[in-house]
Amino acid sequence: MPRARTPNGGGITRGPCGGAAAQDTYPDRVIDLRSDTVTRPTKGMLDAMAAAPTGDDVYDEDPSVRALEERTAELLGHEAGLFTVSGSLANMLGVRAWVAPGRELLCEAQAHVVRAELGGHSAWHGVTTRTWTHDRGGVDLEAVRRLMTPDAGPYLVSTAAIAVENTHNFAGGTVHPLGELAALRELVGGTGVRLHLDGARLWNAQVASGTPAGEYARLFDTVSVCLSKGLGAPVGSVLVGPADVIAEARVWRKRMGAGWRQAGVLAAAGSYALDHHVERMRDDHANARLIAATVADAAPSVVDPARVETNIVLLDVGESAHRLVEEARAEGVLTGIVGPGLVRVITHLDVGADDARRAAEVLARLAES
C-alpha cells in the first residue's frame, strides 16, 4: 500500500500526479493510466543496468553517467548535460541559472514549473513568476510581449527568463509548433531574457511531429528532458545547456543534496531507453487516440479526439469526475484528476493495445452514463 498523502483541498484525488492510490484489490489486471511515470524497467533495461560500468559521479567519474550526459547534450544540440534525479530538479537547476532571487520567470499558467514543482523555484532559489494562459498550453506571443519587462528598474520585477513546456502536460500532451517557438526566440531577441524548455515529454513531441528533439531544443538556452516518462526508465532527467551553466548546475545539484555516487546503474537505464524506447512511443500515441475515439463515440462532449496529439487524453466530465475515477478504478482502470472536472488518461510502455481497448470500453461506458 502506498502512503496516503495529505488532501490538498483542490479536489484532486490522492496519489502520484493526481491519480487514485494503487491497491492490490483489483479485478484481474490493473491498467494504470494515471501517469507515464508508473512503468517498470524491462528485462533488457535491467540487464543494461546490471552491466553498467560505474564510478563516483560526484567526482565526475562515472562512465555511464558521462556517456548519457554527453549523448543527450549532443542529441539536443547543446554543449553539456547533467543527469538529475527528477525533472523538477532539472527544471529548477535550469531556471536558477538564469533567474536571480527576486527576478521573474514567465510561463503558461498550467505549466509544470508553476503547478507541480511545489514552489521549488521560489523555496530554493527566490524565483518569482507571472503567467499567461493559453488553451493548448502554448505560447501567446502577444501576452509575452505585454508581460516581459527585461529591465524594469527599481519599481517592478524584471523578467529574466521564460519557460515553455513541450509537450504540455496539463493541456493534454499538446505539441508546440516549431514556428511558434522560433517566433518566441525572435521576440526575446537581444533583450537578455533567457528561454528554458521543460521537455519532460520532448521525445513524445519528436515522435508525434517528426521534428527532431534537437530542432526544438536549439531554440532554448537550457532544456530538461525526462527519462522516466515515456522512455520508461525508473529514474532520471537530463538538463542540457552551455558548458559553464551545466558546471554551475553541477555545483547546485550537490548543494541541494542531490549529488549521487555510482549513478551509472540508473544512467544505463536512460541510455537503454534512448536506444529502444523512443520510436515505440508511436504505439502509446495510437493507444491514446483509440481511447479518445472510443470515449468520443459514446460521449462526444467529453473529448475531441482531434485534440489528442501524443499520449495524454483529457476527459472533460464535469461533476462526474470523482465518480468516474472511482468507478473506473473498481474495474481495474486507474486514472487521475488534473483539474476541475478533468480526468487524465496517460498511455505508456506498460499499456498494450489490448489494455488500451479494455480501458477505452470501461471509460466510454462510464463517460456515457
Rounded least distance, CB 251 to ligand PLP, Å: 20
Q: What is the DSSP letter of 168?
A: B
Site string for ligand PLP, 222-241 (x = CB under 6 A): ----x-xx-------x----
Interface residue with ligand PLP among 104, 198, 221, 355 (CB under 6 A) is 198
Tell me whether residue 72 or residue 88 sits nearer to ligand PLP (CB atom): 88
* Cα gap 45→42, rounded to integer Å: 5
Closest alpha carbon to 232 in 21, 22, 46: 46
Using an 8 Å Cβ cutoff, are 68 and 237 in contact?
no
Count of residues of this chain found to bind ligand PLP when the rule CB under 6 A is applied? 13
According to the binding rule CB under 6 A, does residue 165 interact with ligand PLP?
Answer: yes
Q: How far is the CB of 165 from ligand PLP (least distance, A)?
A: 5
Nearest Cα to 331, choosing from 292, 302, 352, 360?
360
Q: Give the largest Cα separation in the chain, rounded.
A: 63
18 lies in the site for ligand PLP, by CB under 6 A:
no
Give the integer Cα–Cα distance in Å for 245 and 282.
Answer: 34
Least distance in Å: CB of 105 to ligand PLP? 14
Nearer to ligand PLP, 165 or 283 (CB): 165
Over the window 90 to 109, marking each residue x when it contacts ligand PLP by CB under 6 A and - when it does not, the resulting string is -x------------------
Q: Is 249 helix (H, G, I), strand (E, B) or coil?
A: helix
* Distance in angstroms (rounded) separating the CA atoms of residues 292 and 92: 33
Q: 281 with 350: CB under 8 angstroms? A: no
Helix (H, G, I), strand (E, B) or coil at 340: coil
328 counts as binding ligand PLP under rule CB under 6 A: no
Q: At residue 98, what is the residue type?
A: W
- Regarding 169 and contact with ligand PLP (CB under 6 A), the answer is yes
Stretch that binds ligand PLP, among 68-76, 84-92, 182-190, 215-223 (CB under 6 A): 84-92
Examine residue 87 and tell whether it contacts ligand PLP (CB under 6 A): yes
* 3-state class (DSSP) for residue 197: strand
* Residue type present at position 174: T
311 binds ligand PLP (CB under 6 A): no
Told to check if 356 binds ligand PLP by CB under 6 A, we report no
Q: How far apart are CA 202 and CA 164, in angstroms?
A: 11
C-beta closer to ligand PLP: residue 35 or 294: 35
- Residue placing its CB nearer to ligand PLP in the complex, 241 or 332: 241
Nearer to ligand PLP (CB atom), residue 112 or residue 277: 112
The β-bridge relationship of strands 80-84 and 237-241 is: antiparallel
Cell of 126: 527566490
Residue 86 binding ligand PLP, by CB under 6 A: yes
Q: Give residue number: closest CB to ligand PLP.
A: 87
Q: How far is the CB of 186 from ligand PLP (least distance, A)?
A: 24
- Please tell me whether residue 200 binds ligand PLP under the rule CB under 6 A: yes
